[in-house]
Amino acid sequence: MLQLRFTCLLCFAVFAAFLATSAVHAHHGWAWASDEEFEITGVIQSVRLGNPHGRVTITVDGEEWVVEVGQPWRNDRVGLTKEMLSPGREITVHGHRAAEEDMRKVKAERVVIDGKDYNLYPGRDS
C-alpha cells in the first residue's frame, strides 16, 4: 500500500516537473526581459566576456546601458570577440530590453558593428 502511494507521488512529481519545464522553456534566462522587440545604438564603454554570459556596457545619450551578449561558445560561433567590442566603438543591439522601465539592460539577439551583423540567436526573430 505504502509502495503504491510512493509510486503515485513519484509519477505526480515527474508530471509536475514536465509541465513546469515546458512552460518556462521558451524563456530560459529571459525572464526579466520584455517580449517586445527592441533596438538601441550606443558607444561601447567597457566589456567583460565569459560565463555565464558576457556583459557590454554602452553609453546612449549620456546614460549607461548594460547589454547581455552570449556565453563564450555563442559569441565564438558568430566570431564576436573582445577586440571587436573594444571601448569607443559604435554598436547597435537588437533584442529585448528589461521589462522594468527604469532598468537599462538589454538581452542581445543580434548586434551590428561596422555595418556587419552578428546574429547570436539565428533561431529567433530580431
Partner 1 sequence: MTEQLLVFVEELAFVSALRNSTFMYPLVNAGHILGISMLIGGIVPLDLRLLGLWRNYPVMVFVDVLRVTSAVGLGLAILFGALLFATAAVDYVGSPLFQAKISLVLLGVLNALILGRTFKRMDIQSLPMRARMPLALRAGAALSLGVWISVLILGRFLGYF
Q: Which residues of the shown chain bind partner 1 in the complex (CB under 8 A)?
A: 31-32, 49-52, 71-73
Pairing, β 105-113 against β 63-68: parallel
The distance of closest approach from Cβ of residue 50 to partner 1 in the complex, given in angstroms and rounded to an integer, is: 4
Comparing CB distances to partner 1, the nearer of 32 and 112 is 32
Return the number of the residue (26 or 31) whose C-beta is nearest partner 1: 31
At 114, list the grid cell.
561596422
**Shortest approach of partner 1 to residue 24 CB, angstroms?**
13
Based on CB atoms, which residue is closest to partner 1, 53 or 94?
53
C-alpha–C-alpha distance, residues 62 and 71, integer Å? 28
Other residues' Cβ atoms within 10 Å of the Cβ of residue 80: 22
Can you read off the three cell numbers belonging to residue 73?
561558445
DSSP 8-state assignment for residue 26: G
Shortest gap between Cβ of 61 and partner 1 (angstroms)?
26
